Structure 1
């Protein structure tokens, strides 16, 4: 691979310390129950109150750059900034994947692969609880209870539902859409999402811009439950939003749309497992414009700005500052550097993922242990929920 000297500081994300061992030693290290590495815990707490953080990711294929920076890399940042009293729950949300048709065999493989990707990205199961949502039945039980007190009107206002309705008829006017073409899961899954969060009484939830409305619904549902069953004291604290610091990464072929795993053109995205050659091919073919020079202008220059956003996500510098560094350069120079920085960002997670996915027993052990811990925490919530609603 060609090496270049970048005009900026580059800090690549570090993999989980478990993942730096050989596959044969991973299981041994994990089962010994050694204390978390000092890298994963902040020794200088900046706050007095402990936090409970919950976030999830669907097992629907290999994540792309947008998923990586919006979720996985952000989870590692949260883990590294956590104090010992914090609790972190990171879940593969298999039930949410069922809102769209899935091939059973492919979904089963994707569930295991996603655990491997979470670990390869740097999440440490000795510090964070990593588990499959669909292995903890408390989520669905709580979702049913919350669904019985959630107004239909709130669900109908969800942007995701409106978008699905429009897509179902390829209609621009919401009045033309036919909701009979969609399953009930697409309509009610925000309630399950609320249950995912409230089962652990999460105080903070990291989300991207497109998920803010769902968290607002969770807060509404939380308030409804607390008002309905206020004694002896409100059960749930309103979860706070932690906005993902990375800006949304857009399609390389259509920079007016976000990068997507489901896009027809595979050249529109960079996957975490893509080779250097694939990364180079797709970034070189990325849509830009004919305007000379490099500036960050998302409205008038979305393609160029998207490349700067990707560079920013990899390096930590702002897109505007990076644009200044490329003043007088052309798109060829910018694309060349983006290729190298993306490759450097993905090189270690990609290698760790290739190693981890071969140790199926280790991955099953991490998921099993995580589910047991998640069940223990959520059981406490459900005991109180059942008592308050009269089901004990």
Structure 2
């Protein structure tokens, strides 16, 4: 095999099942915005094919796809600097996923913890798509020869599977065609937790709306949720180690650090000894300052769905310009007659 030089290219995506939360913004979108620039080509996707691994109301799926796109645009994803599209408009994703279904091993899929978490005790009734979706995720990345994927810690296993699939394909066909994708895990709030239970991830599907900050929440709602967020009686400690067994407190400090482009250590240094009556209003003000302009722009975009659709359609054309030659070469390597 030859040593192939791959263009540094970031790929990542968000599933349009439910609305955007602060967790999506700090854990993904804000980091994506920061990666736009000369160091990488950036490709971002609303992964609507992943959403249908569980049943979706068609109207809700279309609306959710537009909401995710609006959130990405409002947060700073620039369609003139990045490729932004929804996955189902680029049919090459599904085609490469089938090739990878034939490369990946059943044992690899059986080790995927997220299938076990999502299927639970009803695994026999789960869709085949839910079981096989890590193979589609690998296709999403490798269809663009993605070299870097910004992910949360809980998604690292899927990038490792992507590397396994790339390595096996390259080995089986004696080529150096697909890159060894690197996960990018960094930042103080890559995993944003529930505002009512600091041991659980902030989720779009949580029982109470007070558990999460929705990216469409207005300024008053954002402030109210942070001021009512669960905490413990103790003030903030002198060092970060003092938050070791205080998950709710640590979560709020991490969120403050991420929103202020700081670090948890610096936040603790500034607020050491402060009570929640001081810290939570400061966090609420910071969150409103950062998030309210995004929610306002999201609403403006959602009032013009035709503009969102145009941006996604243009992005899909750019995506296919990259993806189609890579899929064609894959077919050639595999021996499929064209």
Q: TM-score, normalised by structure 1?
A: 0.81
Does residue 242 of structure 1 match 2:184? Answer: yes
Does residue 338 of structure 1 match 2:295? Answer: no
Does residue 315 of structure 1 match 2:260? Answer: yes
Cα deviation code 1:222-246 (max 9, x no counterpart): 001001112xx41111111111424
Cα deviation code 1:103-157 (max 9, x no counterpart): 1111111111221111111111111010011111100110011101211111111
Counterpart CA distance in 1 for 2:200 and 2:27 is 16
Does residue 391 of structure 1 match 2:333? Answer: no
What's 2:326 paired with? 381
Cα deviation code 1:303-362 (max 9, x no counterpart): 111111110011122112211211232111110001000101112211211111222222
Counterpart CA distance in 1 for 2:143 and 2:105 is 20
Query: Among 234, 249, 255, which residue is 2:198 paired with?
Result: 255
Q: How far apart are 1:217 and its partner, in Å?
A: 0.2
Q: Could you say if the C-alpha distance between residues 277 and 163 of structure 1 is closer, same or farther in structure 2, counting changes exceeding 3 Å?
A: same
Matches within 5 A, 1:279-318: 279-294=222-237, 296=240, 297-318=242-263
What's 1:204 paired with? 148
Cα deviation code 1:21-63 (max 9, x no counterpart): xxxxxxxxxxxxxxxxxxxxxxxxxxx9841111111112221
Query: Among 23, 26, 30, which residue is 1:66 paired with?
Result: 23
Counterpart CA distance in 2 for 1:130 and 1:390 is 32
Counterpart CA distance in 1 for 2:236 and 2:315 is 50
What's 1:274 paired with? 217
Contact 1:298 1:306 (8 Å CA) reproduced: no
Cα deviation code 1:42-90 (max 9, x no counterpart): xxxxxx98411111111122211111011111111000x434xx42110
Aligned residues: 330
Matches within 5 A, 1:89-100: 89-100=43-54
Counterpart CA distance in 2 for 1:147 and 1:244 is 30
Counterpart CA distance in 1 for 2:112 and 2:98 is 19
Q: Could you say if the C-alpha distance between residues 149 and 212 of structure 1 is closer, same or farther in structure 2, counting changes exceeding 3 Å?
A: same
Could you say what secondary structure the match of 2:68 adopts?
helix
Counterpart CA distance in 1 for 2:135 and 2:310 is 29
Which structure: larger Rg? 1
Q: How far apart are 1:164 and its partner, in Å?
A: 2.4
What's 2:88 paired with? 134
Query: Among 215, 218, 224, which residue is 2:162 paired with?
Result: 218
Contact 1:70 1:246 (8 Å CA) reproduced: no
Contact 1:222 1:236 (8 Å CA) reproduced: yes
Q: How far apart are 1:376 and its partner, in Å?
A: 1.5
Does residue 54 of structure 1 match 2:8? Answer: no
Q: Could you say if the C-alpha distance between residues 291 and 283 of structure 1 is closer, same or farther in structure 2, counting changes exceeding 3 Å?
A: same
Counterpart CA distance in 2 for 1:201 and 1:50 is 8
Q: TM-score, normalised by structure 2?
A: 0.93
What's 1:6 paired with? none
Contact 2:6 2:145 (8 Å CA) reproduced: no
